[in-house]
Amino acid sequence: MKHKDGKPINQPNKNRTVTLAVTLIALCGFSFYLGGIFCSGKDSVVVNNIQMALDSPKESSGSLQVKPISFPECSLDYQDYTPCTDPRRWRKYGMYRLTLLERHCPSVFERKECLVPPPDGYKPPIRWPKSRDECWYRNVPYDWINNQKSDQHWLRKEGEKFLFPGGGTMFPDGVGEYVDLMQDLIPEMKDGTVRTAIDTGCGVASWGGDLLDRGILTISLAPRDNHEAQVQFALERGIPAVLGVISTQRLPFPSNSFDMAHCSRCLIPWTEFGGIYLMEIHRILRPGGFWILSGPPVNYERRWRGWNTTIEDQRSDYEKLQELLTSMCFKLYNKKDDIAVWQKAKDNHCYEKLARESYPAKCDDSIEPDSGWYTPLRACFVVPDPKYKKSGLTYMPKWPERLLAAPERITTVHGSSTSTFSHDNGKWKKRIQHYKKLLPELGTDKVRNVMDMNTVYGAFAAALINDPLWVMNVVSSYAPNTLPVVFDRGLIGILHDWCEAFSTYPRTYDLLHLDGLFSAESHRCEMKHVLLEMDRILRPAGHAIIRESVYFVDAIATIGKGMRWVCRKENTEYGVDKEKILICQKKLWHSSNNGSR
């Protein structure tokens, strides 16, 4: 036989074909075997967490050994260093849609391998709940907000402290009355229906701080911009907050996460760029959830003169906003004075009635609704999956019952079920009892800001729910996405990749907890860089509880010593030989150099 160009074609050898087929089948079988060993992932952990990554072949060779190292101090001008939102790097990125304020992490060759120093005069933070109203000036030595917003009572400097009167741009007379009015407009804020919220453009997080006493847990979100250290002020006060901005990327949360979203004159241009920012709010808001807007263009009839605009322009802006919200199946729920409240559709009836050619368009099936890690914003809005009707706000158990009720979306996680969820809760209840014996400060006012660095269902946080603290539940962007389950049970969390820096300021957490993080991620993330990042975000005198395979424990302790940590090795509550707990404490030290690194 010949090709059409005349070249001969060799006839296939039948024996050779059989041999190749057998070889291919054998290779496939061997690959499947290896996949079962190495790629089971964290979803198998839920069934038996003790075995997580403990059967790795590495353990047969003893433990990982690293050379002792002493990390140098960074210079004082790095005292507020945020690697992935560093103003030093802004000039590399454009102003369009404020992309310069998004995450832009340094390459591995640009990473700082030094210890971030505290400001001169740093003191241990004031304890909760007193910290909500005051903090040490030297801990967050930034005057911009005090100088520019003094008439709005965000904060004021008095002696060695910043005081927080509870004011804001739209509530200069106090956040308490502002939220009282909001509760009158949204009765669901009073009966446990609304539990989780996000505040976009949060200022110093007075709104989120006030809601804590009302049983509502809020993530306060703000970029690192000219409003110096908004998020750092929030965390210094003991209020949950992260650095972030709605720009060209999705926020690091799954769909249908929050019961309520809030914008108090947050300066986000909701109707510009085709309404793409409001589409993102629609994505992360739970069906039946509420979006609250105070400030322009709400109440434009009375307020327009103070906004450097015309009443015609403000009327037009309000009409555009209302039209955009209606096109995404929001309805005006209530309105009074400067506050307007819209509610996202409770079910899919409205979406089904929308014309195919309507704008904005509905996202098609190729758009993953829960993807939130470096996922570009699209000019379409996500329609909730009708299979998960019980994930809507109207159908969920009220707080606190929803904390221990197995969420409907547990079935979306491979290997998960109601029974594994229940087992995980019981396991972590026992573990927390053990942790409190090892670290007596846990459960007291000495520990306020806590991070679970690689949670599964948020059971660590659930077991601490009655203590005077809050937990940021971090789900690895490379692990099964269990974050919808975390939010469904009334907790808060975020997607993150620990090969990069976290979106927060230095010295913002009292306690970091990790469970098998290095066993799961050491093939991707260098241990040294993860531990240096932990040191950056941990407060002086703060602790880390590191639960790990014995293969990694000694190496972690060695690197910790080079970061001026004091670590001790403890047994787990099960007393197994393959897994240990490190209790590490970061020392308070002050910079001894003014050079740059």
- Strand 161-163 versus strand 156-158 pairing type: antiparallel
Is residue 30's pLDDT more than 80?
A: no
Dig out the tokens for 239 from the structure: 């209020």
Same fold, 47-118+400-597 and 173-391: yes
- State in words which class domain 47-118+400-597 has: alpha beta
* Residue 384 vs residues 265, 283, 523, 567: alpha-carbon distances, Å: 28, 8, 36, 47
Alpha-helical segments (H) within 310-417: 311-327, 349-353
Kindly indicate the confidence band of residue 231, based on its pLDDT and cuts at 50, 70 and 90: very high
pLDDT tens by residue, 127-139 = 999 999 999 999 9
Count of all residues that appear for the chain in the document: 597
3-state DSSP call for residue 343?
Answer: strand
The CA distance from 546 to 514, in Å, is 5
pLDDT, mean of residues 288-307:
87
Phi, psi values for residue 14, rounded to 5°:
-65, -40
Is residue 358's pLDDT more than 50?
A: yes
Residue-level pLDDT at 19: 53
Kindly indicate the confidence band of residue 140, based on its pLDDT and cuts at 50, 70 and 90: very high
Residue-level pLDDT at 460: 98
Residue-level pLDDT at 266: 87
- For 513, residues 6+ apart whose C-beta sits below 8 A from its C-beta are 450, 451, 452, 453, 460, 544, 545, 547
Taking the C-alpha atoms of 581, 125, 448 and 146 in order, what is their torsion angle to the nearest 10 degrees?
A: -140
Q: What is the mean pLDDT of the chain?
A: 89
Residue-level pLDDT at 144: 75
Residue-level pLDDT at 202: 76
The percentage of residues in the chain with a pLDDT greater than 90, rounded to a whole number, is 76
Is residue 142's pLDDT more than 90?
A: no
Residue-level pLDDT at 53: 33
Say which CATH topology domain 173-391 has. Rossmann fold (3.40.50)
What are the residue boundaries of the structural domains of the chain, listed by start? Answer: 47-118+400-597, 173-391
pLDDT tens by residue, 397-448 = 999 999 999 999 999 999 999 999 999 999 999 999 999 999 999 999 999 9
pTM: 0.89
Kindly indicate the confidence band of residue 155, based on its pLDDT and cuts at 50, 70 and 90: confident
